[in-house]
Copies of this chain bind each other. A is one copy, B any other.
């Protein structure tokens, strides 16, 4: 237990649970963390766990984890009851962005928040987006996921009043390789009020959405229902 200290109090302090970023951790470290959480009977979300690293985990770890290959996420301890859908929409610019969108979806599910996924609504065929605007507008938070030049963020931001969280992805080549172009496009958008997270950070986008939804539950908020 020397090499890690899990922050179980985070959910109370910040409204979201600690998760384990697996990519830079060794197999031994991940095994130890999983074993520790199992021992404490805690639920845990693991992100960026590649299939090869999964295969090298102990069989105890592998059996305990609910692994989803396309999103490279694993969940220990199962999912809680989900809210009724309708609060969060995840809108994807392209087919290639679905893996990042899926990370957001799984992270939300881990915290009990259902979400709607709308795939392949990129702006090169603008009709794919505009025909779904009414559906998107019915959500409180929209997570927009796009790579390449990230034009989706601006178009979407100009069409909906929702809180919009932009997730640039590393999809692209040449000048868009690595995701900096999409990231900068989100940050410099002419559609104001977009909130941006790190490249490929579906996990962080989900947590930002949860912070927003959590803020709504605080006492004293005046809503339309009052």
* Chain A residues at the B interface, C-beta cutoff of 8 Å: 2-5, 7, 9-10, 13-16, 18-19, 21, 23-26, 29, 33, 48, 70, 86, 93-96, 98-99, 117, 119-128, 140-141, 147-151, 153-155, 157-165, 170-201, 203-204, 206-208, 210-212, 214-226
Contacts and interface: CB of A to CB of B under 8 A. Distances in A.
| Copies per complex of this chain | 8
Contact of A217 (B19, B148, B223): B223
Nearest to A24: B96
B154 A151 contact: yes
A223 B225 CA distance: 9
Nearest to A172: B188
B175 A187 contact: yes
A127 to B, nearest CB: 8
A3 B119 contact: yes
Contacts of A203: 192
Nearest to A168: B174
B221 A223 contact: yes
A211 B163 contact: yes
25 contacts: A5-B119, A9-B125, A9-B127, A24-B171, A25-B95, A33-B95, A93-B190, A123-B190, A140-B218, A149-B184, A149-B187, A151-B153, A161-B211, A161-B214, A161-B215, A163-B215, A173-B201, A174-B179, A176-B198, A181-B185, A193-B206, A216-B221, A218-B224, A221-B223, A221-B225
A121 B94 CA distance: 25
CB-based closest 5 A-B pairs: A193-B207, A195-B195, A174-B199, A15-B161, A176-B188
Given A26-B70, A175-B198, A181-B181, 5 more contacts: A14-B159, A23-B173, A150-B185, A176-B187, A225-B226
Contacts of A147: 24
Nearest to A7: B125
A159 B190 CA distance: 20
B140 A221 contact: yes
Q: Which of A148, A153, A160 has most B Cβ within 10 Å?
A: A148
Contacts of A154: 123-124, 149, 151
